[in-house]
Amino acid sequence: MGRIVLDKVKKSFGEVTVIPPLDLEINDGEFVVFVGPSGCGKSTLLRLIAGLEDVSDGVIQIDGKDATDVPPAKRGLAMVFQSYALYPHMTVRKNIAFPLRMAGLDQAEQNKRVEQAAAVLNLTDYLERRPGQLSGGQRQRVAIGRAIVREPAAFLFDEPLSNLDAALRVGMRLEISELHKRLKTTMIYVTHDQVEAMTMADKIVVLQAGVIEQVGSPLELYSRPRNTFVAGFIGSPK
Ligand code: ADP
Ligand code: MG
């Protein structure tokens, strides 16, 4: 579960091609980071995988099945948004349970999954609070909790830490890495921050203007950058 393959996936908005045909394989359980400058197509690529945008051409496979035309809610993926998108009037428990309530799970199963997620995220003592009574980092964890309870094949993160201050960002970075170790679920993480990419990724995908410049482990990109763009971006000499 959690293997995602893009085969000649292309995206245009009107006349403008943002992503020329692109191939990419993401393996089960991998922590993959899409990195590149602002406007290079990171969010668009993630949204194509999530199904929030339709591909202009090409095929997206999830766990061996053609998911190209499958609606987002049926892809078995969970997107964690940059803004927390929590419901302010609901408790943490209700916020985390929300997707399960929508899916019609019974109350006992909802409670079980919410409490498991809360334990993983150190939110057990905060379940009856409302988002306004939480810190930024705790709110981010609630948003992640809402993704965890759906038991997705992969988590998709779009710059999830960019609203947090620097100190909190370092803490959350470690927490997300730790979460990946515990859950062993595929994670795709978008950032323009080279340090986040180098410290979190199993595999980094370097994008420039919708084109993959290089795919490799942090060490590979650092020691053998394919071109000056990658070298400059990752910060090693070439
Ligand atoms: P990134 O996330 O790397 O900053 P995006 O994927 O948001 O980049 O955007 C890539 C390019 O696609 C940008 O030039 C952006 O203006 C364009 N773009 C993104 N979404 C749309 C849209 N809905 N309509 C038209 N152009 C878009
Ligand atoms: Mg973006």
Q: Measuring from atom 7 of ligand 1, which residue has the nearest CA?
A: 43
Predicted confidence (pLDDT) at residue 89 exceeds the cutoff of 60: yes
Whether 47 lines ligand 1, by a CB cut-off of 6 Å, is: no
End-to-end CA distance of the chain: 38
The 10s digit of each residue's pLDDT in 112-127 is: 999 999 998 889 999 9
Q: What is the pTM of this model?
A: 0.92
What are 135-144's pLDDT values in tens digits?
888 898 999 9
Q: How remote is the CA of residue 43 from the centroid of ligand 1, in Å?
A: 7
Ligand 1 atom nearest the C-alpha of 47 is: 6
Quick check: CB of 39 below 6 Å from ligand 1?
Answer: yes
Ligand 1 centroid – CA 41 distance (Å): 6
Expressed in angstroms and rounded, the spacing between residue 212 Cα and the centre of ligand 2 is 16
Look at ligand 1, atom 10, and give the residue with the nearest C-alpha: 41
Question: What pLDDT score was predicted for residue 142?
Answer: 93
d(CA 111, CA 94) in angstroms, rounded, equals 10
Q: For residue 225, which amino acid is it?
A: P
Q: Which of 18, 49, 82, 162 to mutate to test the pocket of ligand 1 (most atoms within 8 A of CB)?
A: 18
37 lines ligand 1 (CB under 6 A): no
How deeply is 36 buried, as exposed, middle or buried, from its count of CB atoms within 10 A (0-12, 13-18, 19+)? buried
Q: What is the ipTM of this complex?
A: 0.98
Report the 10 Å Cβ neighbour count for 88. Answer: 9
Among the bound ligands, the one closest to the CA of 45: 1
Structure tokens at 236: 């090693």
CA of 206 to the centre of ligand 1 (A): 16
Q: What is the whole-number distance in angstroms between the Cα of residue 37 and the centre of ligand 2?
A: 9
Interatomic CA distance for residues 82 and 160, integer angstroms: 4
| pLDDT given for residue 234 in this prediction | 81
What's phi and psi for 89, nearest 5 deg?
A: -85, -10
pLDDT tens sequence across 150-209:
999 999 999 988 877 888 888 889 989 999 999 999 999 999 999 999 999 999 999 999
Lowest mean pLDDT among 28-42, 77-91, 103-117, 131-145: 77-91
Place of tokens 């035309």: 69
